[in-house]
Amino acid sequence: MIALIQRVSEANVVVDGKVVGAIGKGLLVLLGVEKGDDDKKAHRLHEKVLGYRIFGDENDKMNLNVQQAGGDVLVVSQFTLAADTKKGMRPSFNGAPPAEAERLYDVFSQYCRDSGVRTENGIFAADMKVSLVNDGPVTFWLQV
CATH number at residue 57: 3.50.80.10
Band (pLDDT 50/70/90 cuts) for residue 108 is very high
To 10 degrees, what angle do helices 98-114 and 39-51 make?
Answer: 40
Q: Answer yes or no: is pLDDT of 124 > 90.
A: yes
Q: Answer yes or no: is pLDDT of 95 > 90.
A: no
Percent of the chain with pLDDT over 90: 97
- Is 119 an active-site residue? no
- Identify the active-site residue in 6, 55, 78, 108: 78
Distance CA 68, CA 87 (A): 42
User: How many domains are contained in the chain?
Assistant: 1
pTM over 0.85? The answer is yes
Residue 109 domain boundaries: 2-143
Q: Answer yes or no: is pLDDT of 97 > 90.
A: yes
Mean pLDDT along residues 43-52 = 98
- Is 110 an active-site residue? no
- Identify the active-site residue in 6, 55, 79, 108: 79
- Round the average pLDDT of the chain to a whole number and report it: 97
- Identify the active-site residue in 6, 55, 67, 80: 80
Which H or E run includes 6?
strand 2-15
